[in-house]
Amino acid sequence: MNSIATFFTGNGALFSPSRTAPAPTAQPAVATEAATPAVAVETLCKKYGTHWAVDEVNFIVPKGWTVGLLGGNGAGKTTTIAMIMGLVVPTVGRAMVLGHDMATERHKVLKRMNFESPYVALPARLTVRENLNVFGRLYGVPGIKQKIEELAEEFGLGDIMDRLTGRLSAGQKTRVAVAKALINDPDVLVLDEPTASLDPDRADWVRSRLRAYQQRKGATILMSSHNMLEVEQLCDFVVIMSRGRVVALGTCRELAEQFQCKNLDEVFIKLARGA
C-alpha cells in the first residue's frame, strides 16, 4: 500500500511543508511523453477570500488509470477538478495534465481532454445532433458525421438525436453529455458525478460504457462521485478529500482495511464523521 500511495503522491509527501511555494517536481525538465503522468497535482491550493477551498493537495494519476476523487459537500473536489481543467487558476501550486501546466499551457492539451459536469449544460435550444456536431467540430474530430452515428449507437441516442436537448429527461441529458465528453476520444477524461441523475439500470449501463472506453482507448479517467458502489466498480485508486485536504488515499480494498470497514461507503461515512 505504501508504495502505491507514494507513487500517487509523487515525492512521497502527502502534505508538502509549505503552501507558499510549489513543490519541487521529481521529474526531469524534459520528460518523455510516455513517462509523463496523465495528471500531476503539486501542492495545489486555492484561496477564496480568507478561506482555503483547496489546501496543499498532491497526487499523481498515471496514464490509463481511473481515479476517484471523493469527499463530502464543500470538500474541495469541484475546485480541484476545475483547477485540473484549467478553469480556475491555483493560488499556489500547479495542476499538470499530460505534462502541461493547466494555468499557463492549457491550450496545448485541451484537444486531448474532455469533461462532463452537472454544473454545465449543453445548449438547450440545439438538438442532440447539432450539439454533438458543434462540439465535434470544436475538437477537430475527423469524420464527424460517422463519429456522431457511432456515439448515437453506443449510447442509445438514436431516437432522440433530432430532439431539442433542453426537452430531454435528466437521464437522457446525462447520456448526451457523456457522449459529448467522448466525442474526441480524449486521453484524459474528467467526470464530475457522471451518473448523478440516472436510475440504477442506466447508471450501470453508462459505467459499462465508460469502462469499455477506458479499456479500448487506454484513457485516464479522473472522476468525482458520491456513489461509492460506482467508485468501487470503476476506480483503480481513490483520493478522499475533506475541508480542502487529502485525508486518505489508496485502492478501495486498502482503504477498507486501513479504516477497518467493510466497504468504501463505510470508509466515507467514517471520515465524514471525523474519524
Q: How many CB atoms lie within 10 A of CB 142?
A: 7
Euclidean distance between CA atoms 76 and 74, whole angstroms: 5
Please tell me whether residue 256 binds other proteins under the rule CB under 8 A: no
Tell me the per-residue interface mask from 60 to 79 with other proteins, x by CB under 8 A, - otherwise.
------------------xx
Interacting positions 162-181 with other proteins (CB under 8 A): 164, 180
Per-residue b or e along 58-69, where b marks 16 or more CB atoms closer than 10 Å to that residue's CB: bbbbbbebbbbb
Note whether 161 binds other proteins by CB under 8 A: no
Tell me the C-alpha distance between 254 and 133, whole Å: 43
Which helix (H) or strand (E) element contains residue 206? helix 200-217
Kindly state whether residue 120 participates in binding other proteins, applying the rule CB under 8 A: yes
46 is a contact residue toward other proteins (CB under 8 A): yes
Helix axes 200-217, 170-181, angle to 10 degrees: 0
Q: Please, which residue, 15 or 119, has the CB nearer to other proteins?
A: 119
Q: How far is the CB of 97 from other proteins (least distance, A)?
A: 11
Angle at 81 between CA 90 and CA 126, to 5 degrees: 120
Q: Which residues pair with 61 in a beta bridge?
A: 39
Neighbours of 229 (CB within 10 A): 15
Site map for other proteins, 204-223, x if CB under 8 A? --------------------
Based on CB atoms, which residue is closest to other proteins, 147 or 255? 147
Decide if residue 123 touches other proteins (CB under 8 A).
yes
CA distance 135 to 186: 13
Could you say whether residue 48 binds other proteins (CB under 8 A)? Answer: yes
CA dist., res. 58 & res. 9, Å (int): 6
Listed residue (67, 56, 64) closest to 8, CA to CA: 67
Instruction: Give least dist CB 122 to other proteins, A.
Output: 7
- Stretch in the footprint of other proteins (CB under 8 A) among 16-24, 108-116, 145-153, 211-219: 108-116
Quick one: 139 or 237, whose CB is closer to other proteins? 139
Return the DSSP state at 272: H
CB of 197 to other proteins, least distance (A): 15
Please tell me the number of Cα atoms within 13 Å of 3 on its side-chain side. Answer: 0
Give 187 or 254: the residue with its C-beta nearer to other proteins.
187
User: Hey, what's the cell of 150?
Assistant: 457511432
Least separation in angstroms between CB 70 and other proteins:
19
Q: How far is the CB of 179 from other proteins (least distance, A)?
A: 13
Position 127 contacts other proteins (CB under 8 A): yes
Residue ranges binding other proteins (CB under 8 A): 46, 48, 53, 78-79, 82, 85-89, 107, 110-111, 113-115, 117, 119-127, 130, 133-135, 137-140, 164, 180
